[in-house]
Amino acid sequence: MDVRFKKVCIYVILTFILSWSTVALFIMLGGGWNTPASIAFATVYMYFPMVASIIMQRIIFGESLKELLGASPKLNSWFLVAWLLPPILHAHPSG
């Protein structure tokens, strides 16, 4: 099996496990979809693919994120935009 194909399969499986188990937990704890709690949940939920990629890259394969992303650890103003824009857009209804 190709290494890239293996990584993609692990990433997809890990993302689905994180996402759907958290949705199941939210529903079992009485969370509803038309509530303020669902907005907070959805905001956090958007970061699960990123969390899955970090877990996969660092813990499962033990590889560096810096090499994968080609990014330096120095702060950039676009990092702030990338981290804050999804929650802001999600919290502000457009219709």
pTM: 0.63
Q: What average pLDDT does range 29-57 have in this prediction?
A: 89
What proportions of the chain, in percent to the nearest 5, are helix, strand and coil?
75, 0, 25
d(CA 57, CA 7): 9
**Given this model, what pLDDT does residue 29 score?**
93
Confidence of residue 69 (pLDDT cuts 50, 70, 90): low
Q: Where are the domains of the chain?
A: 3-91
Indicate if the alpha-carbon torsion angle 79, 33, 95, 15 is positive or negative.
positive
56 close to 11: Cβ distance less than 8 angstroms: yes
Provide the residue count of the chain: 95
The yes-or-no verdict on residue 87 having pLDDT over 70 is yes
